[in-house]
Structure formats: structure tokens, C-alpha cells
Structure 1
Amino acid sequence: MDSHKILSLLGLALRGNHLAVGEEPVEAAARAKDARLLLLASDAADNTRRRTVHFSEAGQCLWLRLPFTKAELGRAVGRTSAALVAVTDIGLANAVANRLAQLDEDQYGEAAERLALKAKRAAERQSELRAHEKNVRTGKYRPKPRRTPEDSSPQVEKSPPDRRPRNQNRSRPRRGSPTRSPHPYAHSRPVKKGKGSFRKRED
């Protein structure tokens, strides 16, 4: 039966570490944007259903009510009972939604179409990533060096710096400054012998 296939898919997801079981693990997966599909047991309480809706809004993922009880869902995932699980792989989530749509097209058909579209987009992104890594590895694609604004501007040849000493630049005297002769005392009168600037010491 298809119902047994759905439970076996959940067991396969658990063995592959793609299934979160319980409210706290499901909440953590949803807030980390890792959850792809939330599955609620048919006999789960109303408080659990409200928390499931909140988790799906926080994680931006779909949630569905399963046609299985907590005991049936728990046996599929190795527990005595389980009210809420989250599938974290988009391929497995799409497979579970397709199995549920085969059971009840009216209830699960729209969710199966949305998950199929998400799975298709995820497969396209993975194929593009693998092709890009292959091109980089084989050398077909090499990123171009980023050009800076200095590279785009025309380069102007710079003249070499003036290496003359600073004293040659000031060969001419400044305007308004007195000219200095080579001998500072050339035009001064001779001082008489015995005359000095010191005052005689008074007795």
C-alpha cells in the first residue's frame, strides 16, 4: 500500500539524517531554514497544530497533516509516538508529498505541485554549481581580474623629481632683503687702541 511506502520514506529520511523528530528539533530546523516539509500526525493536539503553523511561517516551508496517528508515525521513526516531524531534504520531501497526493489528490495535490517546483529549482541550482566547479577545475573558466578606477583612467607619464640641491633654488636674494657682503666688517671704522666698550671700574 502507498501508506506503507510513505512511512518507509520517513524511515529512510531518518536513517539518512534528513528527518527531525519532536517539537524542539523541528523548531530548530525550521528557524535555521533547513526544514522543507513539516508533517503532523492526525491525532495531534490543537496546541501542537498551532505551533506547527508557527514553525512553518518561521521556516518558510509547507506543513501537512498526515493520515497516520502518533503511534503509527512513531513506529516509522523508531519512537513510541511522534506528533510532529520535519523533512530536511527537498528530494525526500517531494517524494513524500507525491505519495500523499496519490492517496488524496484534493488534499495534497497543491502541496505536491509546489514541492515539485522547489525540487526542480534546487536540482537546477545544483547542476549549475557542479558545472561551474568543473569549469574552474579544468581551467575553462578563469575569473577576470577586477579593474580599479585607477586602471581605467589614462596614465600620464610623470616627470622625474627635481634632484637639485635646495641652495641652488635660492640663488637670488628675496625682494626687500638687504644684500650681504662677503666680509661683514669691511665698511666699519677701526677702533682706537685703549678704547673699549667696557666701563672703567670705579674705585
Structure 2
Amino acid sequence: MTPKAAQLLGLAMRARKIVSGEGLVITAVRNGQARLVLLASDASDNTAKKVKDKCSYYGVSCVTTGDRHSLGHAIGKDGRVTVAVTDGKLAESIQRLLT
């Protein structure tokens, strides 16, 4: 994960435009709230498949980035495997920096 993307992710967290944790992220994807899902590269195969399948079905972008520690550090929480950005503009900016 690039430093700029991590900064934007931290900004989104402070603006309360982030949902973290597998269950909450999947719920946000189902409800149409998630605009971008970030998945840690060291997530378990089962979790990765579940999140990617759900994102694919509901048409939400899913980006695999960094490990759980860098993802958690960016939002100020320990070891998050999945994070969903719920704001459209922030999601676009973060995705542009990661691809």
C-alpha cells in the first residue's frame, strides 16, 4: 500500500466513511454501502474467496493490497483483513492510487 493511499484511508476513517472487519464489510457490500473493498494479501483463502465472490456478485471493486498489519495501521486498528470505503469520491481516489 502506498503512503498516500494509507493517508487517504486514515482520512476516511476519521470521517467515518470506513467499515472494517469481515462480517461488517460483507453486510456493507450487500446493502450497497461499500464503494471499494480492500483485502489484505495475507487473508485466509476462505475469507478472500468469500469477500471476492460477494464483491463480484454485487459489482463492488475489490483490491488486494498490503498485509493485515499495514491495512490495520492505516486505519488505526490492529490487524484488519478487510476494509470497505463507503464514500464514492474517497473510494475513487484510493483505488486510483493503488492501481
| TM-score, scaled relative to structure 2 | 0.92
Aligned to 2:59: 60
Q: Within 5 A, what are the aligned runs for 1:1-203?
A: 3-66=2-65, 68-101=66-99
Per-residue CA distance 1:98-147 (angstroms, 9 max, x = gap): 1112xxxxxxxxxxxxxxxxxxxxxxxxxxxxxxxxxxxxxxxxxxxxxx
| TM-score, scaled relative to structure 1 | 0.46
Higher percent of residues as helix: 2
Per-residue CA distance 1:66-116 (angstroms, 9 max, x = gap): 1x1101111111211011111111101110111112xxxxxxxxxxxxxxx
State the identity %. Answer: 36
| Secondary structure of residue in 1 paired with 2:51 | helix
Shift in Å, 1:58: 4.3
Is the Cα contact below 8 Å between 1:30 and 1:58 reproduced in 2? no
In structure 2, C-alpha distance between the alignment counterparts of 1:90 and 1:12, rounded to whole Å: 14
Structure number with the bigger relative contact order (C-alpha 8 A, sep ≥ 6) is: 2
Runs of 4+ in 1 over 3 A off after TM superposition: none
Residues paired across the two proteins, number = 99
| Secondary structure of residue in 2 paired with 1:63 | strand
Higher Rg: 1
In structure 1, C-alpha distance between the alignment counterparts of 2:25 and 2:58, rounded to whole Å: 10
Runs of 5+ consecutive residues of structure 2 not aligned to the other structure = none
One-letter amino acid matched to 2:16:
N
| Secondary structure of residue in 1 paired with 2:2 | helix
